[in-house]
Chain A
Amino acid sequence: MKFCYFAVHVEIRFCLIGLVPLFRLNKMQLLICGIILIWFGQNSYSANNPVVLVQPQLASPLLLPYNPTQTTVSLEKPFCVFDTLNPSSNANVDVYVVLSSVASSTFTPWKNYKGTNGGSTGPYRAASFKLPNCASPAKLSDLSIPSKLLSTLNEYLIQIGNNSACVNDPAATDLCNGPLGVGAAYRFKFLLIDGALVKGETSWSEPVFTRQALDPADLDTWIGKRTGSSVVIASVLSSVTFLLLCLLIPMSIYELVHRVKGKWLSGCNHKPQMVETTFTMVIRECHW
């Protein structure tokens, strides 16, 4: 049975039939091999799953300018991608997420968020939705109609990482769309599931980085440079103040000099008086 087991792991479903003539398995061994293969075939990625060479895309930046956030990524649902595989009308699409560093061409599906530790050991199944209707896709103009907004969004987008409650909830179901890591690169893949079988898949997407959470304490709050007006006002006012205070000095000097010399000058009288002297002097009144 060694080569049968080997065949399963190489995951070439029909290799056993090619090997039979070489190793002459008896009919019983063939039957058991076949049963094992069929059972594994349902749960394993198989190279014969048709791969549609389309990569999952981020939602349009015109629609969602703030995508991705620190823990969520919004992807466009695959419209008309799996048409060549003729899916039935009740086919589902599963989204698989993996950390970009551990992505590989082979993986075992049906793992969940907790089992893969958030995608760090392998891909996990994050979400499942009905196959989008290729014939009548969602109209983006419907987004401006409030009543149709929610349904149009659901038809067009799938948000990965929007359920933070299921991570710590022991009663949570297997399908947990847990939050993604901050500042990490992830890759996404759509799988076409029809009747509980994997019928096809897309390629892995390009690595998508979630936003890095920067520390606000690192923000530089320095002003950069002083504006010209602050320099002008500070320098002009300081020098003019100095000038004004300096004017006090000549004023007081003049005052003192005048008081000493001023006795012979006639002063302002509060009431007019005629003073007889050797020569007439004009009496000055200084007030208005």
Chain B
Amino acid sequence: MPGKGDPAVRCFQIALILGNVVIACSGIALSAECIFFLSDQNGYYVLLYATGRDTIFAAAWIGLFTGFAFFCTSILGIYSIMKSKRKLLLAYILLMLFIWCFEVASSISAITQRDWFVPNLFLQQMLQIYQAPLPTYIPSTQDQIYIINGITNSWNNVMTTYQCCGVNGPQDWISYNSTFRAYNSDSQFPWPRQCCSQAGDGTIVDVNACIIGIPNYVYTQGCFDFIAGPLNRHAWGVAWFGFAILCWTFFVIAGAMFFYTQLEA
């Protein structure tokens, strides 16, 4: 059995402690990244909620808490390795495994849900729900009201902020039937007024030119890149960063298990 001053033991302890320091820092970084993602500055959550494919946000919530849990548990690990306390080390190993499983869930959910962001998904929601009239029976339809208001406001924000129209362009509004079309005539409102070029103070530059469809007076680019782009990047970050942390943590836990077996009671 190695002795106290044995360089091998010391090295191993140092290696495990450094490994835990890295896990602690990575855990905090993961939490921060997930908080940034969850703050959802552009209001994209309701767009995904309406399609039923909001698992990306669930993965981010899990990532937030596992990141913080990694931080706390690795501090416990550093202490127990330094003091060579068996019981604490066993607790550390079991806790780490528990958090490991949740982080695996978060990472796999994020990366598989990322595949769902195709243009038709957002196009269908936009055509069916944008500017739909609110249902009249209030208590039983809060969810529908939330979805309708959320999608309408989100799309208005995105079209105005990023100077885009529809998912692929203004042609989306005139190629498909939509709830918007049912309440707005094709000649006066081929597309919503938010698609019209706006001056700095928010006034439309020229409504008639926008209605006719002259390129400088209506936004001709689609909004898909501005919606799916951030969502894709955030999901990619949560998934792959989680994967990297887990790869590193695997070796730290394995090392801790080995160290535990070498400790005498």
Contact with A along B177-218 (1 / 0, CB 8 A): 110010001111010000000000000011011001111101
* Chain A residues with CB under 8 A of B120: 219-221
Which residues of A (253-288) have their CB < 8 Å from a CB of B? Answer: 254-255, 258-259, 262, 265-268, 282, 284-288
Measured CA separation A212–B94 after assembly (Å): 62
Measured CA separation A163–B185 after assembly (Å): 9
Assess whether A28 is interfacial by the CB under 8 Å rule: no
Measured CA separation A226–B188 after assembly (Å): 42
Work out how many contacts link A and B, with CB atoms closer than 8 A.
177
In the complex, how many angstroms separate the beta carbon of B238 from the nearest chain A beta carbon?
11
How many residues does chain A have at the interface if contact means C-beta atoms less than 8 Å apart? 68
Q: Which residue of A64, A219, A254 is within 8 Å of B124 (Cβ)?
A: A219
Measured CA separation A46–B26 after assembly (Å): 87
Assess whether B220 is interfacial by the CB under 8 Å rule: yes
Measured CA separation A116–B123 after assembly (Å): 37
Interface centre among B93, B185, B216, B247 (most CB of A within 10 A): B185
Binds A, one of B135-143, B146-154, B250-258: B250-258
Measured CA separation A179–B264 after assembly (Å): 89
Q: Which residue of A143, A162, A262 is within 8 Å of B264 (Cβ)?
A: A262
Asked if A66 and B263 make an inter-chain contact with CB atoms under 8 angstroms apart, the answer reads no
Assess whether A69 is interfacial by the CB under 8 Å rule: yes
Asked if B115 and A265 make an inter-chain contact with CB atoms under 8 angstroms apart, the answer reads no
Given A227-B114, A234-B108, is A213 in contact with B212 using a C-beta cutoff of 8 Å? no
Q: Which residue of A146, A179, A241 is within 8 Å of B187 (Cβ)?
A: A179
* Chain A residues with CB under 8 A of B261: 251, 254-255, 258
Asked if B84 and A179 make an inter-chain contact with CB atoms under 8 angstroms apart, the answer reads no
Assess whether B100 is interfacial by the CB under 8 Å rule: yes
Measured CA separation A214–B172 after assembly (Å): 10
Asked if B97 and A248 make an inter-chain contact with CB atoms under 8 angstroms apart, the answer reads yes
Assess whether A153 is interfacial by the CB under 8 Å rule: yes
* Chain A residues with CB under 8 A of B171: 66
Asked if A153 and B209 make an inter-chain contact with CB atoms under 8 angstroms apart, the answer reads yes
Contact with B along A197-238 (1 / 0, CB 8 A): 000000000000001111111011111101101100110111
Asked if B181 and A230 make an inter-chain contact with CB atoms under 8 angstroms apart, the answer reads no
Given A287-B84, A288-B83, is A65 in contact with B213 using a C-beta cutoff of 8 Å? yes
* Chain B residues with CB under 8 A of A266: 264
Interface centre among A157, A216, A243, A287 (most CB of B within 10 A): A216
* Chain A residues with CB under 8 A of B208: 149-150, 153
Measured CA separation A282–B176 after assembly (Å): 86
Q: Which residue of A64, A71, A240, A265 is within 8 Å of B186 (Cβ)?
A: A71
Interface centre among A220, A233, A247, A265 (most CB of B within 10 A): A233
Measured CA separation A159–B51 after assembly (Å): 38
Given A219-B120, A221-B118, A247-B254, is A265 in contact with B187 using a C-beta cutoff of 8 Å? no
Asked if B186 and A233 make an inter-chain contact with CB atoms under 8 angstroms apart, the answer reads no
Q: Which residue of B177, B215, B218 is within 8 Å of A215 (Cβ)?
A: B177
Assess whether B21 is interfacial by the CB under 8 Å rule: no
Asked if B100 and A244 make an inter-chain contact with CB atoms under 8 angstroms apart, the answer reads yes
Contact with A along B77-110 (1 / 0, CB 8 A): 0000011100000000100010011001001100
* Chain B residues with CB under 8 A of A222: 118
Assess whether A164 is interfacial by the CB under 8 Å rule: yes
Asked if A143 and B176 make an inter-chain contact with CB atoms under 8 angstroms apart, the answer reads no
With A284-B1, A288-B84 already in contact, 19 other A-B pairs whose C-beta atoms are closer than 8 Å: A64-B214, A72-B186, A149-B206, A149-B209, A150-B206, A162-B188, A164-B187, A179-B186, A213-B175, A215-B177, A219-B123, A220-B120, A221-B124, A237-B246, A241-B101, A241-B104, A251-B257, A258-B261, A267-B265
Q: Which residues of A contact B (CB under 8 A)?
A: 63-67, 69-72, 74, 143-144, 146, 149-150, 153, 157, 159, 161-164, 179, 211-217, 219-224, 226-227, 229-230, 233-234, 236-238, 240-241, 243-245, 247-248, 251, 254-255, 258-259, 262, 265-268, 282, 284-288
A-B contact pairs, 18 of them (CB 8 A): A66-B174, A67-B213, A69-B186, A70-B174, A71-B185, A144-B216, A149-B206, A149-B209, A179-B187, A215-B176, A221-B121, A226-B115, A230-B108, A230-B114, A244-B253, A254-B261, A266-B264, A285-B4
